[in-house]
Structure 1
Amino acid sequence: MTTTTRQPSHSLTPLVVPLLAGGLVMIALGVYGRVHTPTGFAVGPAGFSAALPMKAWLTTGAFVLAFVQVVSALSMWGRLGISIPPAVHRWSGRLAFLLTIPVAFHCLYALGLQYDVPRVLAHSLLGCFFYGVLTAKLLALPKRGLPGWSLPVLGGLTFTLLVGLWLTSSFWFFTTIGLKI
């Protein structure tokens, strides 16, 4: 009787469904943002003076939590020499995602996908890509047999897209309008 040791698969097959779903999310958000007639208002800015400060501060919170995500991921992958509990990574990601929901809702429902100002076009496209890549990452997490590079690449892309969103929104707001609450 011979026993064979099964080697972990490094096939791209487990990534097909997450990447397709992420692509569909990107397209759906972009199409909705373009065909939906913007209302001009959406989420009540509870505790904030207006919608723009709400969006700037919630995005900044997600931006800060994204750095926690990077540091905790590096720790989990043994790249820092310190141990951060995996729960820190999970909960910082959950909180970052939750902070982006009212912002994305307001952007899509109240403003739609805009293309007349380059910064706003970049911001609109970054938002669609952010949620698409995040979808792919979250759907890929429970998959077995993924190539070792897939989760770090998807996580890195998610982080990079959130940084781009922050630069084209909150950073712009704070440097143009000020630190209003």
Structure 2
Amino acid sequence: MTSKSPHRARGHRSPARVAVIGLVVAVPVAVAAAIWLTGRHQSPQYGTGLFGAQGAAAVTLKARLGTALFALALVQLLLGVWMYGRLPGLTPGRRRVRASHRAVGWLAFLLSVPIAYHCVRTYGVETASTRVLLHSAAGCVLYGAFVAKVLVVRSRRLPGWMLPATGSVLFGAIGVLWYSAALWALNGFTVPGL
């Protein structure tokens, strides 16, 4: 007879690990919900400018910034895949790749802030059409996923799958935002499926 607990033998999680996982889920959901509720109670200010651009010019500028954000997200994805040795023919990325991944991530976050501010300030969170609802929800998810990724990166108590999962949600949110707004605006206010 062994002295190991049967729960430990089956991979039972410690209460501390379960609490950390709960925190990594609850905090990002709270962030996304807070943004949603703030946006739903925001009175639209259609005259809000973005770096001096107003109206249609602001929409075009935001679409271009959103496209740059999506490009940074693609670079971030490639750096992350390289960092963990998942690019065929390349060894796992060293210190420079990790530093680049972090820098590109923060640059993408900083680029997203004026775009998000303009969206929430100008329109709030809207549900008038499928495209707008999808865009509003993805915007809220983006910041919740960003918070989740930062928490996961900082914790050593979480399962290894949580980092790629949160990174995937973050990348997916940026992709949906780009498709539902930036591409839509730059493509004559139309995209397939929306």
Q: Which residue of 1 aligns with 2:28?
A: 22
Matched, 1:171 2:183: yes
Q: Structure 2 unaligned segments of length 5 or more: list them.
A: 1-12
- 2-structure distance, mates of 1:44, 1:58: 11
SS in 1 for 2:187: helix
C-alpha spacing 1:41/1:18, structure 2 compared with 1 (3 Å)? farther
CA shift at 1:174, angstroms? 1.0
C-alpha spacing 1:13/1:71, structure 2 compared with 1 (3 Å)? same
- The one-letter amino acid paired with 2:70 is F
The 8 Å contact of residues 43 and 105 in structure 1, kept in 2 or not, is answered as no
Give the number of aligned pairs: 170
- 2-structure distance, mates of 1:77, 1:153: 14
The 8 Å contact of residues 126 and 165 in structure 1, kept in 2 or not, is answered as yes
Greater relative contact order, per chain length (Cα 8 Å cut-off, separation 6+): 1
- The one-letter amino acid paired with 1:57 is R
Q: Which residue of 2 aligns with 1:74?
A: 81
CA shift at 1:14, angstroms? 2.2
- The one-letter amino acid paired with 2:31 is V
The 8 Å contact of residues 148 and 166 in structure 2, kept in 1 or not, is answered as yes
- 2-structure distance, mates of 1:66, 1:133: 13
C-alpha spacing 1:87/1:177, structure 2 compared with 1 (3 Å)? same
Q: Structure 1 unaligned segments of length 5 or more: list them.
A: 1-8
Q: Which residue of 2 aligns with 1:5?
A: none
Query: Deviation string for 1:140-179 (max 9, x for gaps)?
Result: 211112101000000011001110000001110111159x
What are the residue-to-residue correspondences of 1:37-116 with 2, within 5 Å? 37-46=43-52, 50-80=57-87, 81-82=90-91, 83=93, 85-116=97-128
CA shift at 1:12, angstroms? 4.1
Say which of 144, 147, 150 aligns to 1:138. Answer: 150
Larger Rg: 2
Identity %: 34
